[in-house]
């Protein structure tokens, strides 16, 4: 499960980098939508990091 969490983290980072690049080039409504998307990705990243920490704790107990 930790491997999947690492993969999700890497994927979300790549998506966030792409969204940031698009956001820098975007104007108006598109820029706002990309900023909202980037915010959602950051929230997802925090959940993935929380899961990774929990998994590491479980692995340490076993």
Alpha-carbon gap, residue 55 to 53, rounded angstroms: 5
Q: What is the pLDDT of residues 39-52, one digit of tens each?
A: 999 999 999 989 88
Q: What is the pLDDT of residue 40?
A: 92
Average pLDDT, the chain: 86
- What is the biggest distance separating any 2 CA atoms in the chain, rounded to whole angstroms? 52
Alpha-carbon gap, residue 51 to 36, rounded angstroms: 23
Are the beta carbons of 3 and 57 closer than 8 angstroms?
A: no
Give the residue numbers spanning the domain of 30. 2-61
Q: What is the pLDDT of residue 23?
A: 86
Number of domains in the chain: 1
- pLDDT-derived band at 2, boundaries 50, 70, 90: low
Closest CA to 48 of 21, 8, 1: 8
If 0-12 CB within 10 Å is exposed, 13-18 middle and 19+ buried, where does residue 19 land? buried
pTM of the model: 0.73
Q: Which is more confident, 44 or 1?
A: 44
């Amino acid at each position: 499960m930790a491997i999947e969490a690492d993969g999700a983290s890497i994927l979300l980072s790549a998506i966030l980098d792409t969204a940031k690049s698009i956001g820098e080039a975007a104007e108006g409504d598109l820029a706002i939508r990309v900023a909202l998307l980037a915010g959602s990705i950051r929230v997802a990243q925090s959940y993935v990091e929380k899961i990774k920490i929990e998994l590491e704790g479980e692995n340490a107990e076993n």
